[in-house]
């Protein structure tokens, strides 16, 4: 019974935290909330709500091609899938332990998994971000500063603006601002 009240407390905290995050996002980026924002504050539903990242796809510049080449050369796709697989195995183990050893009902086990997975999700995003920075650095090294600048501006134009914190919670890509800061030591605006 104790574990149920703790679970409910955590879910309420999650809900309030996400509402705060959405309000902060609207204020800082001047964007409208929309129906996705409503879905994102609901536990479990927010695990599957898609997050649109771009207004339009960035064009296939040399930088984009080199960036994609870097992902291939560095086996990022495979590594990312291995990371996903490891996380999925931990999740299955965790759920099985709750159901079999603790004797928890399925719905509770799933909700616990949802809550416990939140920090792991953030860590996974950081892992993906690191891959993106690596691919950017590779393209930058191959093409030089000027082309990188143009590519970062293009990226900033295409991207739907999100704050760093919001991106950390929801996105597998760092924001254009973070990427240009990392590469060129300054934020390239559109």
Which residues contact Zn ion (rule: CB under 5 A)?
132, 135
Using the minimum distance from each CB to Zn ion, give the nearer residue, 118 or 137: 137
Residues in contact with 139: Cβ distance below 8 Å, sequence separation at least 6, in sequence order: 63, 66, 67, 69, 70, 148, 151
95 φ, ψ to 5°? Answer: -65, -45
H/E element, 50: none
Please report how close the Cβ of residue 41 comes to Zn ion at its closest, in angstroms: 29
22, 40 contact by CB (below 8 A): yes
Using the minimum distance from each CB to Zn ion, give the nearer residue, 72 or 190: 72
Please report how close the Cβ of residue 19 comes to Zn ion at its closest, in angstroms: 31
Task: Find the length of the chain.
Answer: 190
Using the minimum distance from each CB to Zn ion, give the nearer residue, 2 or 57: 57
Please report how close the Cβ of residue 58 comes to Zn ion at its closest, in angstroms: 11
Please report how close the Cβ of residue 153 comes to Zn ion at its closest, in angstroms: 17
């Amino acid at each position: 019974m104790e574990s149920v009240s703790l679970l409910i407390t955590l879910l309420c905290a999650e809900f309030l935290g996400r509402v705060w995050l959405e309000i902060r996002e609207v204020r800082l980026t001047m964007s409208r909330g929309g129906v996705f924002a409503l879905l994102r504050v609901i536990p479990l539903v927010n695990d599957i709500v898609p997050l649109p990242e771009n207004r339009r796809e960035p064009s296939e510049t040399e930088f984009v091609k080199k960036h994609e080449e870097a992902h291939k050369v560095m086996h990022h796709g495979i590594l990312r899938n291995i990371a996903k697989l490891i996380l999925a195995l931990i999740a299955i183990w965790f759920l099985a332990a709750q159901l079999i050893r603790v004797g928890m009902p399925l719905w509770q086990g799933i909700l616990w998994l949802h809550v416990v997975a939140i920090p792991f999700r953030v860590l996974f995003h950081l892992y993906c971000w690191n891959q993106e920075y690596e691919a950017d650095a590779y393209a930058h090294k191959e093409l030089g500063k000027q082309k990188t600048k143009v590519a970062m501006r293009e990226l900033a134009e295409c991207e739907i603006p999100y704050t760093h914190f919001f991106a950390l919670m929801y996105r597998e890509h760092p924001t254009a601002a973070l990427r240009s800061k990392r590469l060129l030591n300054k934020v390239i605006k559109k």
